Amino acid sequence: MTQVEAPAKPHALTGLEMAAILAIIVTWGVNNAAGKLATEVMPPLLVGALRFLIATLCLFPFVRPPFPDWRSLVLIVFVGGALQYGLLYVAYWLAQDVSPVTVANQLWIPLTTLFAFLLLKERLGKAALAGMIIAFAGVGWMMLDAHALQDWRAILVGIAAGAAWALTTVVARRTTSIPPLKMQGLLAAGTLPVMAFGSAVFERDQVEAIRQATPLVWASLLWAGIVSSVLATTLLFWLVQRREAGRVTPYLLATPVVTILIGWAFMGDVLTPQILTGAALAMGGVAVVALAERGLRAGAAKA
């Protein structure tokens, strides 16, 4: 009788690949804190406009034909760019502490699974459903803390930003694959005028805010526009070319931990046992969903 060979185990991640994952985690974790720092000095839509001005200047050479179906492209750029980042920066601007908002925003992962089930009729497994329930329960428990409750508006806006990105991810599944740097360039170029227009209409004293911005604020904007939007995306693209996305993306769930540590150590975030317990439950649920749906596209254009 012919012996059937067991499938080969996937090779362990190399030291260079783990270093790239660590660099992305740190970059995105710092970027969340940088967004909060910038919105303490500048109006949120202005922060978004300046970030995407920097990103557009860096990524414009990558924006060239061919382009995907224009209807999908408009939806991806508007919802995943202007709406998602506009809501996220407004959430940072509303928040006293950056940590709860960052944790709540990670609900984009279970929301992606939910939208894929509702819109694309993809299968929703029991493990993914359980993880989804745990994640939302964790955020709910975190919000019931007396201190976190002060940021309830910011947390809800952060969840809305995650929902916008989740919808973008689902739409992107039906769109011809676009190289991440090209997608980031399209997002930046499409988001910039919307953010600038929104800032001009709804915000005031932009010139004065720019004058008062400290070098640390400008460093935060450069970090968002270059290090996060360009360099971290390039690293993620390199990783998913070498490995399946499901091998890489679960590690990236450590990103909020970096933000929480920065918020606690340098930005005065209050971390009560209830907030920490809720955050742990939420991130545990998100991890269950991500591991249950290993085919989940984490969005190479994210952040």
Tens digits of residue pLDDT in 216-265: 999 999 999 999 988 988 888 788 667 765 677 778 888 999 999 999 99
Amino acid at residue number 57: L
Q: Quote the pTM value.
A: 0.88
Supply 268's token pair. Answer: 């005065």
Which residues have CB under 8 Å from 99's CB, separation 6+?
256, 259, 260, 263, 264, 269, 271, 275, 279
- The 10s digit of each residue's pLDDT in 163-210 is 998 888 887 766 656 777 887 888 899 999 999 999 999 999 999 999
Mean pLDDT for the stretch of residues 23-39: 95
Q: How far apart are CA 278 and CA 257, in angstroms?
A: 13
Q: What digits encode the pLDDT tens for the residues 124-142?
A: 888 889 999 999 999 999 9
